[in-house]
Amino acid sequence: MRLWPRIFFVNEEIMDTDTIAAIATALSPSGIGIVRISGSEAVDIADKIFRNKNGDRVGVDNFDSHTIHYGFIYDGSDVIDEVLLMIMLGPRSYTAEDTIEINCHGGPFVLKKVLDAVIKNGARLAEPGEFTKRAFMNGRLDLTEAESVMDLIASQNDFARKNSLKTLRGSVYKIIHEMRESILHETAFIEAALDDPEHYSLNEYPEVLKEKVAVLKEKVDALIDNSISGKLMAEGITTAIVGKPNAGKSSILNMLLGEEKAIVTDIAGTTRDAVEASLKIGDIILNVVDTAGIRDTDDVVESIGVDRAKQIANDAELLLYVIDSSVPLDENDDEIIDMIHGRNTIVILNKSDLKPLVDENAIRNMLECPVILTSALDETGVEELQNVIIDMFFDGSISHNDEVYITSQRQVEALRKVSSSLDLVMNSIDLGMSEDLFSIDLMDAYDSLGSIIGEDTNDDLADKIFSDFCMGK
């Protein structure tokens, strides 16, 4: 475990900022809620409002760091709540600043009253993500670790949770830092050789550099490739359930969810607008949209639903094409097959408990995609569906090893810039260009890698990243 992190000071010292406060837990009735205070006045503010059971001030500034104390929060002469107060002095805190956390009873009204008392005594309300932004600005976290905090909060499965924890512990930083060190070493050698050719020779160096850059690019491209699977595992696969009316699409959705989310009737065209839901099948998250049945219709409202279904299907990463296996295919199925051909599609032959009138092999050959026999009535086929999705999107297995997956689109775009810059280096070598041109593209790659971990990051980028955080974090 790292005792103290790398330093990314904005002004080459821990920032002297005002004191901020926020409710750090959800505003809903609960046993415990937390009001967090951070900044140079945090201890003084706590001292003004925290008292012992006799109503006496106890000198919070005398408390040892990383200790917890029992008492009461006062607003003037009014007792607000019975609390536990935790003190964490900088730099050994989340923000690297003096930090106070007041553990209150978890009612929203009580929490707001405690926060009001803190604000009255000198703090200001924190902006979304400002605590984590300060942790980054003060060198407590690098940018990948800061972003992983929100990813951890938003995680919906074990993969997302474990991957966020690995990043929070510096796994991405380590990889990026090693790449930057390698680039810096080669650039320094080139500059030294150009300045002092008597002591440093560039003879045969271009080919040596090309080999090193090729290895580096391979690592970068692997991170980019893995990011696709990582994003799908962490955020889910956008999935559209399509089919003609009365094929059983809504029944399939309800079966996968284990609840009656969509209305199911024997009347064709019941679903006229999209029904959205997020569900887990094993370790896989599907962000599912059950669409209106696709068919030619004179009904104006249903026609709008059909057009929307086609658009949703066009944008989806996975299509579940539901066919009523007890009814022959018709011209509506022909239209759907033409629309989805060549896409990531799984055909679900529903109502397999009835006499089949649809040839399974014919459908498989027609669409060149997996076909699953299921019955929403008997709730069969879910496990097979999971296995098919794993084969389709994750090469047959979902990795839970120590491999690092980058799921941030911002970081992936930066890696693409790195890959492009390294391509330019190798192209320059192949063309026999001057060595000083190698340095330009190498340093572009170096800077792009730096933007991933937050070195030389401008304030606008930091503001944008942390604005997406929740309040109190």
**Interval 251-302: pLDDT, tens:** 888 887 765 544 333 434 444 445 777 777 777 788 888 777 776 665 666 6
Query: What local confidence, expressed as pLDDT, does residue 326 receive?
Result: 84
Q: Are 53 and 71 within 8 A, CB to CB?
A: yes
Query: What local confidence, expressed as pLDDT, does residue 89 receive?
Result: 96
Enumerate residues 6+ apart whose C-beta is below 8 A from 226: 403, 404, 405, 406
Rounded to the nearest angstrom, the gap between the alpha carbon of residue 35 and the centroid of all alpha carbons in its chain is 26
Tokens 């994750």 sit at which residue?
394
Q: pTM of this prediction?
A: 0.66
Mean per-residue pLDDT, 27-34: 90
Q: Are 407 and 151 within 8 A, CB to CB?
A: yes
What is the longest distance spanned by two Cα atoms in the chain? 88
The residue ranges of every structural domain in the chain are: 20-142, 158-231+408-454, 236-394
Class of domain 20-142: alpha beta
- Going by pLDDT thresholds of 50, 70 and 90, the confidence category of residue 394 is confident
For 236-394, CATH number out of 3.20.20.150, 3.40.50.300, 3.30.470.20, 1.10.3720.10 equals 3.40.50.300
**Interval 420-439: pLDDT, tens:** 999 999 999 999 888 888 88
Alpha-helical regions (H) of 108-266: 108-120, 130-137, 143-154, 158-168, 171-195, 205-235, 249-257
> For 158-231+408-454, CATH number?
1.20.120.430
Mean pLDDT of the chain: 82
**Interval 66-115: pLDDT, tens:** 999 999 999 999 999 999 999 999 999 999 999 999 999 999 999 999 99
Q: Which two tokens stand for residue 288?
A: 């599912």
Mean per-residue pLDDT, 172-197: 88
pLDDT for residue 440 is more than 70: yes
Percent of the chain with pLDDT over 90: 33
